[in-house]
Structure 1
Amino acid sequence: MEAFWGSINAEQGWLVSSQPSEEVAAAEELSPLLSNELQRQVSPGVSFGFSVFNLMNAIMGSGILGLAYVMANTGILGFSLLLLMVALLGSYSVHLLLSMCIQTAVTSYEDLGLFAFGLPGKVVVAGTIIIQNIGAMSSYLLIIKTELPAAISEFLTGDYSGSWYLDGQTLLIIICVGIVFPLALLPKIGFLGYTSSLSFFFMVFFALVIIIKKWAIPCPLTLNHTEEFFQISNATDDCKPKLFHFSKESAYAIPTMAFSFLCHTSILPIYCELQSPSKKRMQNVTNTAIALSFLIYFISALFGYLTFYDKVESELLQGYSKYLPHDVIVMTVKLCILFAVLLTVPLIHFPARKALMMMFFSNFPFSWIRHSLITLVLNIIILLLAIYVPDIRNVFGVVGASTSTCLIFVFPGLFYLKLSREDFLSWKKLGAFVLLISGILLGNFSLALIVFDWINK
């Protein structure tokens, strides 16, 4: 076993291999997922394409609705630089995670914390994952609760107020019982590949509609009310895009972007079920998913901003409902994006449930009863949070500035510095150090600005 791992880690510089380079490459292709060897003999694994769709579904969710607002408060160039920085750092941190998996032969984020800092490290990582994923899932359900009744009402003519299908809480309960809970019960994350591919095409459709509708809304903006048009502003500067712009709302930029690119809790579960798993193959899955997500994010944010400029809403769809009421394409894309957000919730259930299992039941064999009860408890928690939390921007800000920055930047950098046997001045260790410091500074700075904004309000 030591010779096997010596050959794998030689490529990373951790150990000195005594085996030929051909054996190193062969060992690398085998991957460290030895504990899943029997499982792979039964199942051929998830294809590259479905793995990309699953990872993109984990990346893309409600964050796409808030990025145009971020661009309005950072400017086009400021937004582009920040988004590119977060995407590159996210991809690099995945590279470090996969490298540590090769070194330690573990297949979970929680066990990396255990290897690095013992039981406290495992508990901290698992707790962070649980908080992050519960916050993410509740934010997605909160969007569905607020937007789905409005989307349905736009298809109706006449007064249907008071109907059960226009009550957000009732719809949310039905959706959680009928869709989220059954999908979250599935034993493997790869089974969600079909729903993830559907979610991806909904996101692409959303981006295309935003591009098309940019020319359907004039600037200066006008509101159509009782067959009269009211111009919102006469200022020609309102129709000029800003390259750089900073305000107190810019404090939400990095947290929202971090929240929008967080997929690290799903990386290792997807890696475990990947067909012919290897570090290189999983890194290609990650790079493809992050690149496609970056492209869709940037296009949506750019054309959303160029449509509304400084009047862009913190949730982009609200602007289209205001300026293009009862537009069939807008109503359709709203339902599609809500369905895409909904399909992300079961995917995020997997790492949250796994973290709970590893904290309290790591030494117990798999049990459908335990599996179902934990899934049910998580479903109830996120449902209650979605019903009673008033403002989604606070969820994006606090969760993004704290747990998201820890999982994307701080933990991968810290664990690599602790576990790697490379010289500290090596490029990868210096990169891990930069990742760690960047995460600490960005997270604390953003959180401080958000709290300061709350105090002022």
Structure 2
Amino acid sequence: MMVSYSTVASGSGNASDSSRGRRRRSSRSQKDHNFSGQASWTSCVINLLNTIVGAGVLSTPLALSHMGILLGVAVILWSGLAAAFGLYLQSRCSRYLERGASSFFALSQITYPNAAVIFDAAIAIKCFGVGVSYLIIIGDLMPGVIRGFNEAADAVPFLVDRHFWVTAFMLIVIPLSFLRRLDSLKYTSVIALISIGYLVILVVYHFVEGDTMADRGDIRIIRWGGLVPTLQSFPVIVFAYTCHQNMFAILNEIKDNAPRKTTGVIAASIGSAASIYILVAVTGYLSFGNNVLGNIVGMYVPSIASTIAKAAIVILVMFSYPLQVHPCRASVDAVLKWRPNGKLHRHSPNGSPARTVPLLGGTPSQPVARNDTIGELRFAIITTGIIVLSYTAALTVSSLDKVLAYVGSTGSTSISFILPGLFYYKISAPDSIHHQRLLKEDDEAESGDEGDLDPRRSWRQTLLRKLSLALAFYGIFVMILCLGTNLFFSTSAH
């Protein structure tokens, strides 16, 4: 549905198209000579999918009970499409930056420099809050998991103490949180996705087995449960696709960053997530009908299978925690470097002023915030600070529902829709110096003749800019709607 900017005229085997492709690749490789990604396409899909799909998948059947199956599935598909478009715009924006230098911070510096600190602060707070919620989930679920495997567990107090389990699992996630590269988390992401697979199989199995029919309520197919319940469930589905905080890291680390490859990562990740959400939502809702609760796993008859499912949720959130630390650290670093006069205080690992990374060949140098550019000591201090603060919050706070509801309404909406839309609309303006240089580079790569331009490209560019602005307005609408829902209605649907 989304047209790649580098699409050439159709015609298999056309020699002119082949030569253009070679020249384009040559031009790109010349520009990207200073950085080479190491992450495979599969690794990027796995990490992005793990960032998307979390324990929230278990609440999708409740959303369907409020919306009805028809509307609920439509909202799941629409939300996935909107999230995918935001990711696509991020991949487009990354073309205006040096290879491996993409970040919200770098883009804000050349589009809305005065607001850069606000953007990064929102991302940092959002990722930090989600990370804390993961630790709280671990502390809440593990005592039940232990009791499920051993009914006499209460005789050993520390085994059913949430503080003990939060502390124990921190020993696992701390080393993972200190990894610089998102690609380094691909194996833990695989384990997390296996856990998701088990949860999906469990829900589908009970639906096929039909052992929940005695507890099933009415089924809504076309009718909905009313405006208020629908508004309460809408944010649950919209924010279920939030992964945009890690998209730039994916673009920086992927080995082949050709548009078709990055678009493929987006399509595979969002498509897989949407399939999982629909499968769990529909089969889970048909299992319990309108009697379904927020966590469907907790509704099944206690058994080894359901206990393993709770353990799978713990494993899932445990390995998702480092995926929140990664973008949080980069955003905190950018916020700490920001100065009121718009200049940034930057140091390289050896303490000398760091070299800035230029935007496109020949443009003025601009600072870039990436995990790779943070000095060893600074990297350790920021990471330690995030871990200690999140650990302390998880031990002292039993519920973050209200806080996360507001943080999600603002932070998730901003990084998913508003920022990608505004960034692309601003940077791709016809009078933008960055856009003009990129067009010149593409023109030289494609034809070598300024007069030999594809008129369709201008039309596609105009349409994409209008759609990006529409996405930003959609994000503002979602933010207002979600904040209003949090203010005036109960958020118990979470």
TM-score, length basis structure 1: 0.84
Residue 395 of structure 1: how far off its partner (Å) = 4.8
> Quick one: which amino acid aligns to residue 70 of structure 1?
A
The separation in 1 between residues aligned to 2:222 and 2:167, in whole angstroms, is 43
2:297 to 308, 313, 317: 317
2:228 paired with 1:248: yes
- Alpha-carbon spacing, 1:392–1:250, altered in 2? closer, same or farther (3 Å): farther
2:152 paired with 1:158: yes
Q: Greater CA deviation, 85-94 or 393-402?
A: 393-402
The separation in 1 between residues aligned to 2:287 and 2:320, in whole angstroms, is 27
2:95 to 77, 97, 102: 102
Residue 271 of structure 1: how far off its partner (Å) = 1.5
Q: For residue 265 of structure 2, what is the aligned residue in structure 1?
A: 285
Count of aligned pairs: 415
- Alpha-carbon spacing, 1:136–1:28, altered in 2? closer, same or farther (3 Å): farther
- Alpha-carbon spacing, 1:388–1:312, altered in 2? closer, same or farther (3 Å): farther
Q: For residue 3 of structure 1, what is the aligned residue in structure 2?
A: none
2:310 paired with 1:334: yes
2:329 to 350, 353, 359: 353
Residue 337 of structure 1: how far off its partner (Å) = 2.3
Q: Greater CA deviation, 337-346 or 66-75?
A: 66-75
> Quick one: which amino acid aligns to residue 158 of structure 2?
W
Contact residue 31 and residue 102 of structure 1 kept, 8 A: no
- Alpha-carbon spacing, 1:159–1:328, altered in 2? closer, same or farther (3 Å): closer
Q: CA RMSD in A?
A: 2.6
Contact residue 251 and residue 450 of structure 1 kept, 8 A: no
The separation in 2 between residues aligned to 1:266 and 1:400, in whole angstroms, is 16
Partner deviation per Cα, 1:295-323 (whole Å, 9 max, x = no partner): 11111122221222222222222222xxx
Contact residue 75 and residue 243 of structure 1 kept, 8 A: yes
Pairs within 5 Å for 1:269-308 = 269-308=249-288
Q: For residue 66 of structure 1, what is the aligned residue in structure 2?
A: 59
2:464 paired with 1:428: yes
- Alpha-carbon spacing, 1:395–1:255, altered in 2? closer, same or farther (3 Å): farther
Contact residue 63 and residue 259 of structure 1 kept, 8 A: no
The separation in 2 between residues aligned to 1:302 and 1:28, in whole angstroms, is 48
Pairs within 5 Å for 1:232-243 = 238-243=217-222
The separation in 2 between residues aligned to 1:216 and 1:364, in whole angstroms, is 62
Q: Greater CA deviation, 407-416 or 103-112?
A: 103-112
- Alpha-carbon spacing, 1:251–1:21, altered in 2? closer, same or farther (3 Å): same
Identity among equivalent positions (%) equals 21
Pairs within 5 Å for 1:374-389 = 374-389=382-397
Pairs within 5 Å for 1:132-281 = 132-158=126-152, 160=154, 163-176=157-170, 178-214=171-207, 215-221=209-215, 238-245=217-224, 246-281=226-261
TM-score, length basis structure 2: 0.78
Mind listing any 5+ residue stretches in structure 2 that lack a counterpart? 9-18, 338-344, 349-373, 431-457
- Alpha-carbon spacing, 1:39–1:211, altered in 2? closer, same or farther (3 Å): same
Residue 207 of structure 1: how far off its partner (Å) = 0.4
2:151 partner SS = coil
Partner deviation per Cα, 1:212-237 (whole Å, 9 max, x = no partner): 0123533341xxxxxxxxxxxxxx8x
- Alpha-carbon spacing, 1:335–1:29, altered in 2? closer, same or farther (3 Å): farther
Q: For residue 78 of structure 1, what is the aligned residue in structure 2?
A: 71
Residue 39 of structure 1: how far off its partner (Å) = 5.2
Residue 38 of structure 1: how far off its partner (Å) = 4.6
Contact residue 232 and residue 489 of structure 2 kept, 8 A: no
> Quick one: which amino acid aligns to residue 354 of structure 1?
A
Residue 28 of structure 1: how far off its partner (Å) = 7.4
The separation in 1 between residues aligned to 2:294 and 2:401, in whole angstroms, is 8
The separation in 2 between residues aligned to 1:199 and 1:159, in whole angstroms, is 26
2:358 paired with 1:363: no
> Quick one: which amino acid aligns to residue 395 of structure 2?
I
> Quick one: which amino acid aligns to residue 340 of structure 1?
L
Contact residue 206 and residue 212 of structure 2 kept, 8 A: no
Contact residue 181 and residue 375 of structure 1 kept, 8 A: no
> Quick one: which amino acid aligns to residue 480 of structure 2?
N
2:19 paired with 1:25: no
- Alpha-carbon spacing, 1:452–1:31, altered in 2? closer, same or farther (3 Å): farther
Residue 240 of structure 1: how far off its partner (Å) = 2.5
The separation in 2 between residues aligned to 1:138 and 1:190, in whole angstroms, is 23
The separation in 1 between residues aligned to 2:468 and 2:80, in whole angstroms, is 15
Residue 274 of structure 1: how far off its partner (Å) = 0.9
Contact residue 94 and residue 102 of structure 2 kept, 8 A: yes
Partner deviation per Cα, 1:127-148 (whole Å, 9 max, x = no partner): 1110110121112222111112
